[in-house]
Amino acid sequence: MRRCGPILTAHTGAGKEKPDADRGPIDTVMGMDGSTRDGQAGSERASATGSAREPSVHQLRLFLVLAEELHFGYAAQRMFISQPAFSRQIRALERRLRVQLLARSSRRVELTPAGQALLPEARTAVEAMDRVRHVAQTQVRQIQGRLVIGSIGAEAQQPYTRAVLAELRARHPALELDVCSLDIARHVLALTEGEVDVAFLVSPIPPGIETLTLATEPRVACLSADDPLAGRTSVTVAELAERPVVEVPPECPRTWWNFWAVDPRPNGTPVRYGPVVHDVEGLFLAVAHGEAMAFLPAAARNFYPRPGVHYVEVSDLSPSTAALAWMPKNNALPAICAIRQAARAVAQRTPSPGPGL
């Protein structure tokens, strides 16, 4: 049984022009009465309805390259196609637009007035399609779900950290970011035990954890306002030797706190410890009461101004380092990759301020 409606056939017999691949397979239309017409009328209808008779973006892109090179051979090389194939596409573009775009001779190629007029419009069309593809690809790459981000002390308040999170939100608006504060004792365990997915931490970070360095800055002495050295602009580690340092719970990595307690001291003497503190507020309370001192990143001056506490520079103390940290087993997770990429993007375009505890 034959279906109702016009039958479309392609003819390649003798005496007729073979169909050009660029024009499409339909050159002749046969009506219900058996009469035939040239496919041009069908082409006009197809053009009016937005079919393949319209110029392709690929053809417009080739035209733009040719307009720059004004040489078919060079233009074809740039687009990594053969010169005959390049020429066929340009001819097909001219047929579809029904206008001559180029004046060709054995010695040179020039744009016709029509070609000159088409040039900016072709560029606009190609750029628009590139934007369409970019938007589509961005949507495909969108990451959804929830990312739990830990932060020790004031790390989440640092301008650098805020820039990383803003970059991540801009790239992946559908990704929910849950930022939480980590206490001193469990800041590493929270990451290794999976309570958080990533964390903004300060050095030293134990082996077995992946890191991306964000910033470095000096460490300062945090002293009671009643301490005789509190009014100094600078001190040395040796001058602080007799003062006890706040202690942390046993679950806190010892190597990490040894760094922050400067234990042992440069001359090899061990450090005396004061009361055990579990969080930053407990630390400041112990210092303000004169029970112990602490060493903190210099940014603590801005983030933790406290009555009864003074910050003093330490001239011979190595700096601290801030880093984005995550577990190696999560390396390939899309959200982890996304925050790493955001951090690298921010680092490339902005100077990094120091971290805070």
Q: Order of strands, edge to edge, in the sheet holding 36-38?
A: 7-9, 28-30, 36-38
Domain shared by 225 and 310, yes or no: yes
- Sequence letter at residue 88: R
In a domain, 68, yes or no: yes
Domain shared by 107 and 242, yes or no: no
In a domain, 356, yes or no: no
Q: Is the pLDDT of residue 223 over 50?
A: yes
Domain shared by 106 and 224, yes or no: no
Domain shared by 339 and 205, yes or no: yes
Q: What is the mean pLDDT of residues 298-325?
A: 94
In a domain, 305, yes or no: yes
Domain shared by 98 and 241, yes or no: no
Q: How far is the C-alpha of 173 from the C-alpha of 144, rounded, in Å?
A: 8
Domain boundary among 140, 172, 197: 140
pLDDT at 53: 79
Tens of pLDDT, residue by residue over 162-177, are 999 999 999 999 999 9
pLDDT top residue among 24 and 166: 166
Q: What is the mean pLDDT of residues 58-79?
A: 93
pLDDT at 350: 66
Question: Could you give phi then psi for residue 69, rounded to 5 degrees?
Answer: -85, -35
For the chain, what percentages of helix, strand and coil (3-state, to nearest 5) are there?
40, 20, 40
pLDDT top residue among 215 and 351: 215
Domain shared by 227 and 308, yes or no: yes
In a domain, 192, yes or no: yes
> In this structure, what CATH number is given to the domain that contains residue 227?
3.40.190.10
Residue 116, domain extent: 57-140
- 21, with CB counted inside 10 A (0-12, 13-18, 19+), is exposed
Alpha helices, DSSP H, located in the chain: 39-48, 57-69, 72-78, 83-97, 113-140, 159-171, 189-192, 254-261, 280-288, 300-303, 334-349
In a domain, 1, yes or no: no
Q: 3-class DSSP state for residue 110?
A: strand
Q: Is the pLDDT of residue 356 over 60?
A: no
pTM, 2 dp: 0.61
Domain shared by 134 and 262, yes or no: no
Domain shared by 228 and 313, yes or no: yes
Domain boundary among 140, 163, 189: 140
pLDDT at 357: 52
pLDDT at 144: 80
**In this predicted structure, which of 14-18, 55-59, 83-87, 341-345 has the lowest mean pLDDT?**
14-18
Q: How far is the C-alpha of 245 from the C-alpha of 272, rounded, in Å?
A: 6
Of 101, 104, 100, nearest in space to 119 by CA: 101
Domain shared by 122 and 193, yes or no: no
Q: What is the mean pLDDT of residues 178-199?
A: 94
pLDDT at 93: 94
List the structure tokens of 120. 């900016």
